[in-house]
Amino acid sequence: MFGKSINLIKVFGFQIKIDISWFIIALIVTWSLAVGFFPHYLEGLSAADYWMLAVIGALGLFFSIIFHEFWHSYVARKMGVPIRGITLFVFGGVAEMEEDPRTPKSEFWIAVAGPLASLFLAAAFYLVYNLFITLETGQGITAVFMYLALINLILAIFNLIPAFPMDGGRILRAALWHLKKDLRWATQTAANMGSIFGFVLMGLGLLNIFTGNLVGGLWYFIIGMFIRFVAQNSYRQLMIRQSLEGESVRNLMKKPVYVPGDISLREMVEDYVYRHHYKMFPVREGDALKGCVTTRQIGEIERENWPEIMVRDIMKQCSLENTVSPDEDVVKVLAKMNSNGLSRLMVVQDGELKGIISLKDIMAFLSTRMELEGDQSFSGQ
């Protein structure tokens, strides 16, 4: 979902990050407040004043989204669901859960926490807005609090729409899961609602484009496409998790192809990369595992320097990021690959390399299992 992100701050153990794409929406929000909302609500201010209010308003929105996602994360952690962190991106923010909630009750409370937090902020900002009016505080700062109360109310209502992946869609999934005791059916139903809602937004976007609101229409259309994409993939991801759950790395790992640490990068590319077509190789000197080296690392070095640089000079040491245990659940391995941007991991036990597990091998196993079980629902909705 995300591209390059920047670590911002850590709050109560949650790492808050900003995806590069978020700066797009930050600029658009600030611009729209400076040239649209505040000039319409307040007349007679200078352009610099409007831009100052817009920056404050955008920062308030930034805080509101973090607050919303923080409470998702906090409740998830209380319910025993591991959280990697909170990431702000072009469409808002998301609490990155490492696994799905295990019960309908935990799914419900995790989902409802965000909208409740936004409603709390809407009420708090509205009270401050009324207080400033009573005290006859400056119109500018009063307008900022009115905007923040309004935007948090909209954020809560929008997220309560019963369409996955919205919070309301997760609440719907929790209710259906509780009623029928069938997570797969509940997810499919909520995801179908998400697909329908995505189509509605896309249609609304096209209508706005044809009636002259090009920018607004494009945003509706893009958000609709995003919601539809996530909704459709949520069911497939559940199918993958359920099909792989309980499968250990030991059953899927393959014999590793080692690279000596004392050969040059040119030798490695010619004798190993072009021959085996792997993107990561474990490095061994004698009988000892020293680390690993990837094609990405080699690609960052000028080709003319390959003959002079040894593999040991650029290899990465073994760590939790590039290794797994033979008894690790494959579902958790997929999550680690996605989190670290790796398609191959070393399988290590007691400091000894036991094998290699790759994304390609996992997906091949998954495809074979589904074909044997005759499950056609994975192919689409």
DSSP 7-22: EEEEETTEEEEEETTH
Active site residue 99: no
State the number of CA atoms in the 13 A half-sphere of 351 facing the CB: 3
- Name 17's bridge partners: 7, 87
**CA dihedral over 284, 286, 287, 290, signed as positive or negative:** negative
What is each CA distance from 148 to 88, 123, 125, 138, 182, in whole angstroms? 18, 10, 6, 16, 39
- Name 323's bridge partners: 346
Q: With contact defined as beta carbons under 8 Å apart, do 235 and 187 qualify?
A: yes
Rounded Cα gap, residues 171 and 183, in angstroms: 13
Rounded Cα gap, residues 363 and 360, in angstroms: 5
Which of 263, 269, 261, 326 lies closest to 288 in space, CA to CA?
Answer: 261
- Angle (CA) 37 40 41, round 5°: 85
Residue that the structure tokens 């080709």 belong to: 303
Question: Containing H/E element for 219?
Answer: helix 214-244
What is each CA distance from 85 to 77, 91, 97, 296, 339, in whole angstroms? 11, 17, 8, 26, 11
Out of 69, 96, 107, 328, pick the active-site residue.
69
Rounded Cα gap, residues 79 and 259, in angstroms: 44
Q: How many CB atoms lie within 10 A of CB 331?
A: 20
Residue that the structure tokens 């495809």 belong to: 367
Q: With contact defined as beta carbons under 8 Å apart, do 356 and 345 qualify?
A: yes
Which residues are designated catalytic? 69
